Structure 1
Amino acid sequence: MTSRKSAPAAPTRPISIDQLRYLSIRNWWIVVLTGAVVGCLGLAYSLFQTPMYLSSATLYVTSGTEPNTQSAYQGSLASQQRVASYAELIASDVVIRNALDKSGLSMSVDSAREVLSTASNPETVLLSIAARDKDPAVAAILANSVAEAMTAYVEQLEQPNASSKPLAKVTVVSPAVAADKPVSPRTSRNTMLAILLGLVLGILIAAFRERFDTRLRSGDEVQQSVPSPVLAEIPTESSLATSPVIDFAVGSSRAAEGYRRLRTNLAFVSVDQPPRCILVTSPGPGEGKTTTSINLAAALAEDGNRVILVDADLRRPSIAGRLGLTGSVGLTNFLRGDGVISDFIQNGPVDGLDVLVAGTLPPNPAELVGSERAKEGVEDLKANYDFVVIDTPPILPVADAAILAQYTDGALMVVRAARTRAQDLSAAFDSLVAALSTPLGIVLNSVSVNDSRYVYYSYGQTGNGSNSNTMHGPRYPERLEAEFPMSGNH
């Protein structure tokens, strides 16, 4: 039994700036929605704020000196030094109380101190007093009252005695006036900043989501989960919505090249004994295993092989309905002993391809596929066909695929990009190993057609695929593909 390390629950490698860009593109709806929500919150916050108005008065500080050059210069320096002290003095209880008493405003000293502010330039003798209030008139009255109270208080402080002149004085050179527009809230600025913050938050949410999201999106992530090669990455093909089989004879679509690459790579899995009886399964439903089975069989038939496609999904068969074949008789009839297996084989949709549909649904599918007659049937098909492709149920919900795998040369595991989780693939791989089956490789289904590794190739070829891509395409830096579900996948 093969031993291996279990897959990590979440990626641990750091996310680069380039990956963040792809994350933002792929998760654009998260980024946009987060930006819009936070922007609306910023707008609502601004709209519910009470508008505040600002009024300011400007004071001019001078020192009393003799009128000569030297004394004037010294007086100017003294005035500049006093400005910083006066700015602190404006917030004193004495100045604010005198201003409130004179103005008649009904507010406390502490409330007035909270809405007052001062500003000064150390290189000038100008001092500005500003007041904020929801009423522009109150803001102007408070600023002017404090300015006048400051003028009187400085005169009192700077006068040594009653007969001498003040050493300095403060003059109101620009009284405060009621403002026409509020200074806050700044709705436009707040909204734009909130939107910007929301966009950044959206990118971080997308990165956090990616960091702990175990869904597999690239071949590199698949190979980090299980020690098995990715044999092909099949891009989304819109034509599968109307036709279950890709027309390999008409041009070379991206999906057709993907299945040709799968066909080619299967031959390299074991060069001495290439697998001829191939079981196809997936960890869970809806990951594209039936679509892969059908088109792998068609690609093998395109190369001139005799191929038999077997629908061994005896729980939810779909091949008969997709290919327009009779679904009432098939594999279950053979397993019940109604005839030899060749009696129930039908012609497929392409030359060289035959189909054995599931038949009527049995009550005991696991017992049927595990019977000795099932083994004999598989051996009979291997003896009469170049390739046998067996479509089975998902391996995690039921044991049918693990039971059938022991009769085949190996199993292909189909996973769906941006849907299959690493832990599910790991568990499915363990189930195959426990059943003593040979895991042939992984098929990554529904990969974005915008992936650069597909754009790189030219798809203008026609014919039987002899000029199809080599076993491995060029390696590109890891990319984060968008999620595009493949239409018609089972």
Structure 2
Amino acid sequence: MTQGDLNLDLRDYLRIARRSWILIIASALVGILVGGAASVLIRPTYTAKTQLFVAIQSSGSIQELQQGNTFSQARVQSYVKTVDSPIVLQPAIDALGLTISPEELANQVQAKTDLNTVLIDIDVSDSSPVQAAAIAQAVAKSLISAVDSLERPKTGGSSPVSLSIISPATAPTAPSAPNTRLNLVLGLLIGLAAGIGSAILRAHLDNRIRGEADLRRVTEASLLGAISFDQDATKKPLLTQAPAQSPRAESFRQLRTNLQFANVAGHAQTILVTSSLPGEGKSTTATNLAIALAQAGQTVCLVDADLRRPMVDEYLGLDRNAGLTTALVGDADVADLMQPWGEDNLFVLTSGRIPPNPSELLGSGEMQNLISRLEQSFDSVIIDAPPLLPVTDAAVLSQHVGGVVVVASVQKIRQHDLEKSLAALRLVDAKILGVVLNRLPAKGPDSYAYGYYADTERPKQGSFRVESRERPESLNQWVLDSGDPDVTEESRPASHFPSDRLRRG
């Protein structure tokens, strides 16, 4: 845990609370249940009370009354401490026929007095309300007798001190303990404290990247985009398979726009898309970014340079047997290996056969020449590269491209893994354009919402809209979801790769 992890402000604590609200609520409920269970399991205790008045016997003159009152207040503290002594408790035990010792009875008896008063309060607790009242009354009477005996002059005569019971003990109607309401409140407070403490501790120990706030603890690189998690993305990963106004489609359009601002100088014509670990969604991000750029009117080339686990051909339904490796080893020209896809100017160079030496091929001069040829013929070249940490392919290839985009999957990638990935890119002087957070939650403290208009109605004639195309069951047929029954497969122009544009290096 670093010092930066400890420097949390109020917003961080609120974010932690929102992330772990289930844990906090569960802990509070457990605390309430424990408090309620304690109230049920603890044996009820009843408390009986009695009160005595201490007076000085005098002739009644004003001076004697003042002296007597001062004397009473001075002596009453001594009488309070006498209550739990055997001289008081043993006669009470004998009178009631109890089978306990004075020491045991002293634990049930409590005597107290307020300052500047001559009143003594005696409280007795017992599991039986009747017996609590009987003991309180017996102790009060025993105290009267004990004080009378202790204060009586040795030369004879009556005691100058007189104690009287002014509030006889009665059997209580309700138990004094357990206090169910207090136990429930204490259980709630303790449960909340335990839940909040556990949430903060878990937040400190868990170094996974959950959102933009965690990303900022790792790097100041630009956040180019945030892709919302979509349950349907596993079955329909392509941008064209999502509704045009869906958050997922808007996310990739926002990524396209942010890339244009990140590449305002126009030097990064070839963009490498990679990640730290496998399974973070780099291939779908690269594919959908290429589709989004093509939908914006650019001529785009998507290259599958993941020569270990290629996935682009599976997403797009293309042939993988001849592709990048075929061109690099000189078996065919790259112009003959391009495969058009969709209705826009998107052309795909699949991986080709998986070679035994991917790093050497990607770092070769042939690869650098191939990228140069592609940059001369296309507006944008998107390269899907292997992850950075398991292999060095992406770091090697990053030296030949204009910029690198790192995809980070929330809840999967840890902060130190992303730090290692960015450090590996900086080590080879790669230009890092920014980071894309993938699979962000649609709601909650770590969500990254885009404003969009969800309009499911058919647009008016003449209005602009981005069409959405979905792949049907047959990979060889495509249907344009235009809402126009006159648009058919035959009426759409076919996309062909302009091989004359791809000049040989």
Shared fold per TM-score greater than 0.5: yes
Deviation at 1:190, TM superposition (A): 1.2
Query: For residues 366 and 429 of structure 1, what CA distance do their matches in structure 2 show?
Result: 19
Deviation at 1:205, TM superposition (A): 2.1
Matched, 1:187 2:195: no
Which residue number corresponds to residue 398 of structure 1?
391
Deviation readout 1:450-475 (Å, 9 max, x if unpaired): 5799668554798589xxxxxxxxxx
Matched, 1:198 2:197: no
Structure 1 length normalisation: TM-score?
0.82
Which residue number corresponds to residue 94 of structure 2?
101
Unaligned runs of 5+ in 1: 1-7, 466-490
Deviation at 1:277, TM superposition (A): 1.0
The DSSP-based 3-state class of the residue aligned with 2:239 is coil
Matched, 1:53 2:46: yes
Instruction: Compare 287-296 and 179-188 and name the one that shifted more.
Output: 179-188
Structure number with higher relative contact order (C-alpha < 8 Å, ≥ 6 residues apart):
1
Contact 1:323–1:349 (CA under 8 A) maintained in structure 2: no
Please point out which of 289, 292, 296 is paired with 2:282.
Answer: 289
Deviation at 1:270, TM superposition (A): 4.8
Contact 1:313–1:393 (CA under 8 A) maintained in structure 2: yes
Q: Relative to structure 1, is the Cα distance of residues 103 and 250 closer, same or farther in structure 2, using a 3 angstrom cutoff?
A: closer
Deviation at 1:129, TM superposition (A): 1.3
Query: For residues 61 and 416 of structure 2, what CA distance do their matches in structure 1 show?
Result: 91
Q: Relative to structure 1, is the Cα distance of residues 350 and 280 closer, same or farther in structure 2, using a 3 angstrom cutoff?
A: farther
Which residue number corresponds to residue 408 of structure 2?
415
Structure 2 length normalisation: TM-score?
0.79
Which residue number corresponds to residue 305 of structure 1?
298
Residue-pair matches, total: 458
CA RMSD of aligned residues (A): 3.3
Letter of the structure 1 residue corresponding to residue 189 of structure 2 = L
Which residue number corresponds to residue 470 of structure 1?
none
Which residue number corresponds to residue 4 of structure 1?
none
Which residue number corresponds to residue 480 of structure 2?
none
Q: Relative to structure 1, is the Cα distance of residues 209 and 249 closer, same or farther in structure 2, using a 3 angstrom cutoff?
A: closer
Deviation at 1:69, TM superposition (A): 5.9
Query: For residues 271 and 102 of structure 1, what CA distance do their matches in structure 2 show?
Result: 100
Deviation at 1:292, TM superposition (A): 1.6
Deviation readout 1:41-70 (Å, 9 max, x if unpaired): 334444443433322222222221224566
Instruction: Compare 29-38 and 370-379 and name the one that shifted more.
Output: 370-379
Query: For residues 407 and 353 of structure 2, what CA distance do their matches in structure 1 show?
Result: 26
Matched, 1:117 2:115: no
Deviation readout 1:260-316 (Å, 9 max, x if unpaired): 343333334454443111110011123221222122112211221110112222333
Query: For residues 347 and 9 of structure 2, what CA distance do their matches in structure 1 show?
Result: 49
Matched, 1:173 2:175: no
Q: Relative to structure 1, is the Cα distance of residues 394 and 276 closer, same or farther in structure 2, using a 3 angstrom cutoff?
A: same
Letter of the structure 1 residue corresponding to residue 22 of structure 2 = W
Which residue number corresponds to residue 475 of structure 2?
none
Deviation at 1:196, TM superposition (A): 1.9
Please point out which of 257, 264, 269 is paired with 1:264.
Answer: 257
Matched, 1:445 2:438: yes
Aligned identity (percent) is 34
Please point out which of 268, 271, 280 is paired with 1:278.
Answer: 271
Query: For residues 3 and 206 of structure 2, what CA distance do their matches in structure 1 show?
Result: 6
Q: Relative to structure 1, is the Cα distance of residues 63 and 9 closer, same or farther in structure 2, using a 3 angstrom cutoff?
A: closer
Query: For residues 83 and 419 of structure 1, what CA distance do their matches in structure 2 show?
Result: 73
Query: For residues 402 and 42 of structure 1, what CA distance do their matches in structure 2 show?
Result: 58
Which residue number corresponds to residue 210 of structure 1?
203
1:302-451 alignment, distance < 5 Å = 302-450=295-443
Contact 2:271–2:383 (CA under 8 A) maintained in structure 1: yes
Letter of the structure 2 residue corresponding to residue 116 of structure 1 = V
Deviation at 1:167, TM superposition (A): 1.1
Deviation at 1:202, TM superposition (A): 1.2
Query: For residues 227 and 38 of structure 1, what CA distance do their matches in structure 2 show?
Result: 42
Instruction: Compare 214-223 and 316-325 and name the one that shifted more.
Output: 214-223
Which residue number corresponds to residue 483 of structure 1?
none
Query: For residues 35 and 176 of structure 2, what CA distance do their matches in structure 1 show?
Result: 17
Letter of the structure 2 residue corresponding to residue 39 of structure 1 = I
Letter of the structure 1 residue corresponding to residue 113 of structure 2 = S
Query: For residues 385 and 465 of structure 2, what CA distance do their matches in structure 1 show?
Result: 28
Letter of the structure 2 residue corresponding to residue 398 of structure 1 = V
Instruction: Compare 94-103 and 274-283 and name the one that shifted more.
Output: 94-103
Contact 1:229–1:442 (CA under 8 A) maintained in structure 2: yes
Letter of the structure 2 residue corresponding to residue 206 of structure 1 = A
